[in-house]
Structure 1
Amino acid sequence: MSTEWEKPIIDDIRTVESEMLRNVKSRHPLLNEIAMEAVSVGGKRIRPGVSLLAFHCVGGEDKDRIIKLAVALELIHSATLVHDDINDKAEMRRGKTAIYKKYGLERAIITGDFLFVQGFKLGGYMESEEIIGFVASACSNMAESEFLQIDEEHDISTPLETYLNIIGGKTAGAIEASARLGAYIGGGSPEEINSLGEYGRNMGYAFQIIDDILDITGNEADMGKPVGMDIKDGRPNLPVMIAMNLGNEFISKIFKEKSPSDEEIKEAVRLVKDSGALDVARNHAQDFYNKALESIENIASSVYKDSLISLADTIMTRRS
């Protein structure tokens, strides 16, 4: 079932889905099975969606190229999710057992590598140094941000700037690259490419902040994972950071612990909710949302621009 923002590009999204499955087929039966599962778990498909919408916003005509790029970006994203679950020791991914928990660490690492290679192979077919550079830069930034996140785990004094650097590389930069590449392939002007890239970056920041909020306010049925996981793992999370900065010593104590109990996490979640930190975090997300929409004011009106606005609204109001 498509959401409102997908409607103008629903056929393109379906083509991306089928091409993803076609491009992860392996001669080894088990690798084929795991790779298919990794990309079939689904998700919001925001990166390919943003690429496709940016492409159409600037009047792009070469659909084969943008579909190929969208598939490449989503295969690379799927690879990072497989590896992220290993790094984060996550038990679940979107309500299903994490790949490494189901198939073993070694096979999960290999599957992630396989997906990366398949994604970059598609990108290589573009025969464009600019496109390869865009994708490689986004991936490098993701890796650097993962290292920075590990450096900041269980640190109760992570500054906002460092937090933004982390989510800038992990989430915002990837969505920005998707938008810029879509506009570039569509033949957009430098101004259009920059405007759509700014939209992607700002909505990426908003997306991750809403994700942090949902880690406190969501429910397991919608999220596919328990709430409070960032507190349990000591990962930088904006409302948690704000609550600690307000001087809540219990939250700080639990955040620093390597293995807090479920009851301690539950109490820390309650205290974050009661602290007022969620409203402050939402205001940060709203600021990025506003910047995203301001950045595309100069983009010509179309159903595709309307969908970018609808996507921004969906990100701000999502429950999972």
Structure 2
Amino acid sequence: MPSGGKTSGGENALSALLAFLKDDMHACNRAIVERMQSPVPLIPQLGAHLVAAGGKRLRPLLTLASARLCGYEPGPDRQRHVGLAACVEFIHTATLLHDDVVDESVLRRGLASANAVFGNKASVLVGDFLFARSFQLMTADGSLRVMEILSGASATIAEGEVLQMVVQNDLSTPMERYLEVIHGKTAALFAAACRVGAVIAERCEADELALDAFGTNLGMAFQLVDDALDYAADQAVLGKTVGDDFREGKITLPVLAAYNAGSADDRSFWERVIGRGEQTDEDLSHALALIAQTGAIQTTIDRARQYADAAVDALKVFPESEIRRLMAETVQFTVDRAC
């Protein structure tokens, strides 16, 4: 395995981690493509569209990295980390397919979303297929503990998405409830992806919990930055339509921060466009101006940095090593995306 050099910047750190785990990631990608095959032609066609869209595959990468951090040594008959990394990616991709239908998204990673190309029915049904594939991979692994972690995360993701729907348009949503939403929809899978690495390496519960904390805090930081990018990024960089969260009336930290820091007139604006969903073509520009004026993006990024710091701290129970350093530096990638 290449050791990688000292990196600077989150993107370089992520690239270095990918290079360090190159062989494992290639094996994971092969497993993903193989498991997307089906005698029903539409399934591999839609699967090929998803693969072509790319993505950093951060979640399966975390499974591979966590297993290696815990001393798991691959071999011809020791490929559990690869199967479980593919399982994690299938869970994630299934939720994306469903989310894009619910959110009526037209872009995903800069390309037309699957529902825009193949339709809502196909996206929902192929999402169901991928969920089923993920459970086949869990069963093939043979560990009830692994199945407990990953199936639990799958249920938590669904709960987080439902909770997000419940609080949609509700500007009175407390910060704690918003954080509960993003824990469910994003951080829970990050945590599970990391924790199973410790399980297959047969590490103690303390190590499992440390990786769970690492994944949870990394996932929280990742989603906070995503929420900031919806109001701060260039569309070509973001890979989706800027302002999607605004148009959908989603309650995110940038909106809550701007609403709570705004004047009476500002709050009236947010109540109309988010609370009641009454929007005109000019409203997004005004929303972006209010977000900027109140420092809501910086508020969000500062909170993301707190979670990122906690993620790095969680790794300190493990001895210093190249993989630990790369994992810690990769955390910075989550924040650098918005800087």
Per the shorter chain, which TM-score range? Answer: over 0.9
Residue by residue over 1:214-270, the C-alpha shift from the partner in whole angstroms, topping out at 9 and shown as x without a partner, is 111101111122222211111121111111111332233221243523321121012
Give the conservation status (yes or no) of the 8 Å contact 1:176–1:201. Answer: yes
Aligned position for 1:87: 102
Alignment of 1:175 with 2:194, yes or no, is no
1:109-258 superposed matches below 5 A: 109-247=124-262, 248-249=266-267, 250-258=269-277
Aligned position for 1:301: 320
Alignment of 1:269 with 2:288, yes or no, is yes
Which consecutive residues of structure 2, in runs of 5 or more, have no partner in the other structure? Answer: 1-11
Give the conservation status (yes or no) of the 8 Å contact 2:191–2:213. Answer: yes
Measured in 2, the distance between the counterparts of 1:232 and 1:105 equals 19
Measured in 2, the distance between the counterparts of 1:39 and 1:167 equals 25
Measured in 1, the distance between the counterparts of 2:260 and 2:209 equals 35
Secondary structure of the equivalent of 1:284? helix
Aligned position for 2:7: none
Residue 319 of structure 1 and its aligned partner are, at CA, apart by: 4.8
Measured in 2, the distance between the counterparts of 1:5 and 1:293 equals 15
Measured in 2, the distance between the counterparts of 1:286 and 1:42 equals 26
TM-score scaled to structure 2, two decimals?
Answer: 0.90
Greater mean alpha carbon deviation, residues 185-194 or residues 154-163: 185-194
Measured in 1, the distance between the counterparts of 2:195 and 2:240 equals 32
Aligned position for 1:3: 15
Residue by residue over 1:139-194, the C-alpha shift from the partner in whole angstroms, topping out at 9 and shown as x without a partner, is 10011111110011111111111011101011111100001001111222211111
Aligned position for 1:71: 86
Give the conservation status (yes or no) of the 8 Å contact 1:176–1:200. Answer: yes
Residue by residue over 1:112-155, the C-alpha shift from the partner in whole angstroms, topping out at 9 and shown as x without a partner, is 11111111111110111111111110010011111110011111
Measured in 2, the distance between the counterparts of 1:282 and 1:319 equals 8
Aligned position for 1:278: 297
Measured in 1, the distance between the counterparts of 2:255 and 2:56 equals 25
Work out the number of aligned pairs and report it.
320
Alignment of 1:16 with 2:16, yes or no, is no
Greater mean alpha carbon deviation, residues 168-177 or residues 98-107: 98-107
Greater mean alpha carbon deviation, residues 247-256 or residues 217-226: 247-256
Q: CA RMSD in A?
A: 1.6
Give the conservation status (yes or no) of the 8 Å contact 1:222–1:319. Answer: no
Identity %: 31
Measured in 2, the distance between the counterparts of 1:29 and 1:290 equals 46
Measured in 1, the distance between the counterparts of 2:95 and 2:173 equals 24
Give the conservation status (yes or no) of the 8 Å contact 1:215–1:230. Answer: yes
Residue 80 of structure 1 and its aligned partner are, at CA, apart by: 0.8
Give the conservation status (yes or no) of the 8 Å contact 1:79–1:116. Answer: yes
Secondary structure of the equivalent of 2:157? helix
Measured in 2, the distance between the counterparts of 1:257 and 1:11 equals 51
Secondary structure of the equivalent of 2:32? helix
Give the conservation status (yes or no) of the 8 Å contact 1:6–1:307. Answer: no
Supply the AA of the counterpart residue of 1:4: A
Measured in 1, the distance between the counterparts of 2:200 and 2:282 equals 51
Residue 5 of structure 1 and its aligned partner are, at CA, apart by: 2.7
Measured in 1, the distance between the counterparts of 2:110 and 2:238 equals 7
Give the conservation status (yes or no) of the 8 Å contact 1:39–1:78. Answer: no
Measured in 2, the distance between the counterparts of 1:310 and 1:76 equals 26
